[in-house]
Amino acid sequence: MKQQNKALRAVLGALTVICVIALIVFLILRGREEKRYAQAFYGMSTLIDQKAYGSKAEQAMQEAERQLLAFEARLSLYDAQSDVAAINATAGKQAVAVQPETLALLQQAKALALQSDNAFSLTLAPLSLAWGITSETPQILTQAEIDALLPLSDDTALILDETASTAQLQQEGQAIDLGGIAKGTACNVVRDVYKQYGVKSALLSIGGNIYVHGKKPDGSRYRIGFRDPQQFTQASIASVALEDTVFAVSGGYERYFEQDGVRYHHILDPRTGRPAQSDIVSVGVIHPDGTVADFYSTTLFVWGKERALEYFQQGGCGMLLDDNQNLYVSGHLKDSFELVESGYEVHFIEE
C-alpha cells in the first residue's frame, strides 16, 4: 500500500512538472507571438512604416523592405535601369523585354485605365515631367506646351505582348508613369511577404496608404484613421476598423507647389493636361487588391464628387471629404465608422 502511494506521488509529481514546463513554454511562445516589432525606412519618395507581431515579424519586415526597394527599382520612372525607363527610352521604336511581374501589372493597369473614362492615364509622364510638380523645379506650362504634350497621353498605344513578355509605346516621345498605382501595388508585394513568413498581424503605411494584415493579437480589428489635410495636423477626423485590405488615399494636398496664390498639385486631369480641378479634398478607397484601391483613389479624385459617389453607390468601399466639410462614407463601413473630430457632416452612402 505504502509502495503504491509512493508510486502515485511520483507520477503526480512528474505530471505537475510536465504541466508547469508546458505552461512556461506556452507563455513564452505566446509572448513571442504578441511581441510587436516596428521599423521604418525611406522609399518610393515617402516614409514606409511597418509594425508586425510574432516570432517571424522582424525577418518578414526585412524581406518586405528588400522587396519594396527592388519593386521601386523595377518600376521607377526616375531609375534608368527600371523596366519603365526601358519602355520609355524605346518609345516609338521597338518593343523591350520586361519582367513578367511588370508585364502583368501593366496589363492590369491598362485595363483599369481604359475603364476610367480618361481620368486615369498611364502615359501622362511627358506632361507630369514638364510640370515637374514633385520636382525641385516645378513650372507652370503654357496652353501651347500642354497642347503639344497632351496627345502623348494615350494608353491604347501601350502594346503588351504576354508571350514574349515585351512592352512598347507606339508613339515617339510617349512615356509611362505608374505613380498612380505604385503605392497600392507595393502593399500587395508586402502582403505576400507577410503571408510567406506566416505573419498573422501587421500594419504597413506607405506615405499614408495603409495595408492592414489580419487582426490585432487580442482579436480585435485595427482602426485606421482618415485625416483632414486642411487641418494641418496628423490627427484623424474619423476612423474605421479594417482587416486584410488596403486603404489608398489621394488628395491634392499631398504634393503641390504654390505660385501667385495658386496651388498646383500632382494629380493631373488627362483631359486638360492641368492639375485636376476637383471638389474632393481627400478620398480613400478600400479594396483587398492594393492596385485597384490605388487606381480608384486617383480616379475618383479626378472624376470629382458626383461620379465618385456613384462608384460608392455601386458597391465601391471607402470615404470622401469634399470642400465643404461633408464626409461621405460607404454603407459597408457603418458598423465600425467613428467620427473623431466635430465639425464634419457625415453622410452614409447606401447602395
Partner residues linked to 236 by β-bridges: 227
Binding span for Mg ion by CB under 5 A among 110-118, 259-267, 288-296, 307-315: 288-296
Partner residues linked to 40 by β-bridges: 49
What distance in Å separates the CA atoms of residue 62 and residue 189, rounded to the nearest whole number? 13
* SS3 of the chain: helix, strand, coil, percent, to 5: 40, 25, 35
**Binding residues for ligand AMP, per CB under 6 A?**
120-121, 124, 128, 134, 177, 179-180, 250, 254, 266-268, 270, 294, 297-298, 302
Q: How many CB atoms lie within 10 A of CB 79?
A: 13
**Residue 76 in contact with Mg ion, rule: CB under 5 A:** no
Q: Where are the alpha helices (DSSP H) in the chain?
A: 2-34, 57-75, 83-89, 100-114, 125-131, 143-149, 179-196, 290-303, 305-313
Q: How far is the CB of 115 from ligand AMP (least distance, A)?
A: 13
Angle at 44 between CA 40 and CA 45, to 5 degrees: 90
Q: How far is the CB of 249 from ligand AMP (least distance, A)?
A: 8
Q: How far is the CB of 242 from Mg ion (least distance, A)?
A: 18
β-pairing, 209-213 vs 245-251, is: antiparallel
Residue number with CB closer to Mg ion (126 or 180): 180
The partner in contact with residue 270, picked from Mg ion, ligand AMP, none with C-beta cut-offs of 5 to 8 angstroms by kind, is: ligand AMP
**Residue 297 in contact with Mg ion, rule: CB under 5 A:** yes
Residue number with CB closer to ligand AMP (102 or 297): 297
The set of residues, in sequence order, having a beta carbon less than 8 Å from that of 274 and lying 6+ positions away, is 141, 146, 268
The partner in contact with residue 124, picked from ligand AMP, Mg ion, none with C-beta cut-offs of 5 to 8 angstroms by kind, is: ligand AMP
Report CA dihedral (28, 66, 161, 85) to the nearest 10 degrees.
Answer: 160
Q: Site for Mg ion (CB under 5 A): which residue of 214, 298, 309, 312?
A: 298
Q: How far is the CB of 297 from ligand AMP (least distance, A)?
A: 5
Q: How far is the CB of 117 from ligand AMP (least distance, A)?
A: 11
Q: How many residues form the binding site for Mg ion (CB under 5 A)?
A: 4
Q: Is the dihedral of CA 306, 311, 317, 318 positive or negative?
A: negative
From residue 134, how far is each of 72, 116, 137, 279 by CA, in Å? Answer: 17, 24, 8, 22
SS3 311: helix
Q: How far is the CB of 324 from ligand AMP (least distance, A)?
A: 21
In the block, cell 509512493 appears at 6
SS3 240: strand
Rg (CA), the chain: 25
Site for Mg ion in 164-223 (CB under 5 A): 180
SS3 124: coil
Q: How far is the CB of 268 from ligand AMP (least distance, A)?
A: 4
Residue number with CB closer to Mg ion (126 or 318): 318
Residue number with CB closer to ligand AMP (180 or 316): 180
The partner in contact with residue 268, picked from Mg ion, ligand AMP, none with C-beta cut-offs of 5 to 8 angstroms by kind, is: ligand AMP
Q: How far is the CB of 245 from Mg ion (least distance, A)?
A: 15
Residue number with CB closer to ligand AMP (50 or 297): 297
Q: Site for Mg ion (CB under 5 A): which residue of 294, 302, 320, 332?
A: 294
The partner in contact with residue 311, picked from Mg ion, ligand AMP, none with C-beta cut-offs of 5 to 8 angstroms by kind, is: none
Amino acid at 180: G
Residue nearest to Mg ion (CB): 298
Residue number with CB closer to ligand AMP (56 or 183): 183
Q: How far is the CB of 244 from ligand AMP (least distance, A)?
A: 21
Residue number with CB closer to ligand AMP (201 or 209): 209
β-pairing, 96-97 vs 166-169, is: antiparallel
Residues that bind Mg ion (CB under 5 A): 180, 294, 297-298
